[in-house]
Amino acid sequence: MYAVIMAGGRGTRFWPRSREKKPKHLLDITSDRTIIQETVDRISPLVQPENILIVTGRKHARELVRQLPEVPVQNILIEPVRRNTAPCIGLAAIHVMKRCKDDVMIVLPSDHGIADPAQYRKVIAAAAKAAEKGNALVTVGLKPTSPHTGFGYMEGGASAGRIADQPLLRVKAFREKPDRKKAEAFVKSGNFFWNSGMFIWKASTILNEIERFLPDLYSGLMTIKASLGKSSEAKTLSATYKGLASISIDYGVMEKAKDVFMIPASFGWSDVGSWDTLWEISARDKNGNAATGGSQAIFENTENALVYSPKKLVALIGMKDVIVVETKDALLVCKKGQSQDVKKIVDLLEAGGENQLL
């Protein structure tokens, strides 16, 4: 069994901490371990480090090697350019096929938070058993705790029984990120689940589905596969990968495939997607205030605030629903509930050529 960790994101909504050279998954945001270290720690009881593959960009490879000494250097697979999740997963799949002909792949984002790792592993292990039995595409459906409009949803279909004491459902449909009204209806129905972005299948199964629905991608992957282990590998990978279309595995395969199943789960999941999300999962005082990352903060007549400032004391007086983030070269102050818009600041800096702040 293999674990494939997708570590190619920019994490722009965590600016000014998250930067091009050190995105969110390489930062210690939720504990004294970085998010990707936590991800590897969580899956290691199920998958040995020599079977953990990490797909990333060249500029982050060296830092990943430093942070994850238990993972062999050759398991850091480098994408020449970003091409979304379908090419990323396909690249990992051909490496699995090269190593062992075929095996179950557990595909995981690098930047999630999990409150109950033991339950998480039970769910993942059950999903792996389901994927091993046939040609199923298995995912994890997270029971929604709110009508969130920032996540995709999956509609549960007919029961497919139980596996390793976990319920298994067919996926009836995938739904894009809804507006508030639709999200509320989804949650009220009790039959919709957040799309976790975790996928479990055999390497051969996903490659067969890519061949069916994304033939151009499949052709490119086979060209790369033929070069693996040869002197032409790096040149072939670079030339071929740049020509691949950028497409997500959800849109390219999952929404079209027939044998898609999910295990409904609750294990304290968070996408750790923004400063607002960090406030939600952080320890807070009786007034809802949180100081994270070893920050020093004084909250006077202040409610529901988040402070990240490990180098300077921050004092807030008469504030409500505010986020303050201080780094050596930038200060972010925003209203809680609007931290998703931090990405717009990054876009403005990029457009203005302020590369030293990216």
The CATH number that applies at residue 164 is: 3.90.550.10
pLDDT surpasses 90 at 94: yes
On whether both 79 and 31 belong to a single domain, the answer is yes
Predicted local distance difference test score (pLDDT) of residue 86: 97
With bands split at pLDDT 50, 70 and 90, how would you rate the model's confidence at 133? confident
Mean local confidence (pLDDT), 25-41: 92
Predicted local distance difference test score (pLDDT) of residue 2: 97
Least confident span in 24-33, 120-129, 152-161, 169-178:
24-33
Which secondary structure element, helix H or strand E, spans residue 38, and what is its range?
Answer: helix 35-43
For strand 290-292 and strand 306-308, is the pairing parallel, antiparallel, or unpaired? parallel
Mean local confidence (pLDDT), 123-141: 94
Predicted local distance difference test score (pLDDT) of residue 272: 85
With bands split at pLDDT 50, 70 and 90, how would you rate the model's confidence at 125? very high
Predicted local distance difference test score (pLDDT) of residue 222: 98
With bands split at pLDDT 50, 70 and 90, how would you rate the model's confidence at 36? very high
Share of the chain above pLDDT 90, in %: 83
Predicted local distance difference test score (pLDDT) of residue 85: 96
On whether both 208 and 114 belong to a single domain, the answer is yes
Mean local confidence (pLDDT), 86-100: 96
Predicted local distance difference test score (pLDDT) of residue 117: 96
pLDDT surpasses 90 at 157: yes
On whether both 109 and 8 belong to a single domain, the answer is yes
On whether both 260 and 281 belong to a single domain, the answer is no
Mean local confidence (pLDDT), 219-229: 97
On whether both 258 and 291 belong to a single domain, the answer is no
Burial class (CB in 10 A: 0-12, 13-18, 19+), 189: exposed
Q: Quote the domain boundaries for residue 291.
A: 275-357
With bands split at pLDDT 50, 70 and 90, how would you rate the model's confidence at 355? confident
Predicted local distance difference test score (pLDDT) of residue 21: 85
pLDDT digits (tens, 9 = 90+) for 285-329: 999 999 998 888 999 999 999 999 999 999 999 999 999 999 999
On whether both 151 and 169 belong to a single domain, the answer is yes
User: For the chain, what is the mean pLDDT?
Assistant: 94
On whether both 140 and 212 belong to a single domain, the answer is yes
The closest alpha carbon to 6, from 51, 36, 49, 33, belongs to 36
pLDDT surpasses 90 at 242: yes
The pTM of this model reads 0.92
Which secondary structure element, helix H or strand E, spans residue 183, and what is its range?
Answer: helix 180-189
The closest alpha carbon to 178, from 157, 150, 154, belongs to 150
Predicted local distance difference test score (pLDDT) of residue 118: 97
Q: Count up the domains in the chain and report the number.
A: 2
On whether both 92 and 219 belong to a single domain, the answer is yes
CA distances from 50 to 72, 75, 131 (A): 6, 8, 21
Predicted local distance difference test score (pLDDT) of residue 331: 95
On whether both 34 and 92 belong to a single domain, the answer is yes
Contact indicator for 292, 30 with CB cutoff of 8 Å: no
Burial class (CB in 10 A: 0-12, 13-18, 19+), 51: buried
On whether both 167 and 186 belong to a single domain, the answer is yes
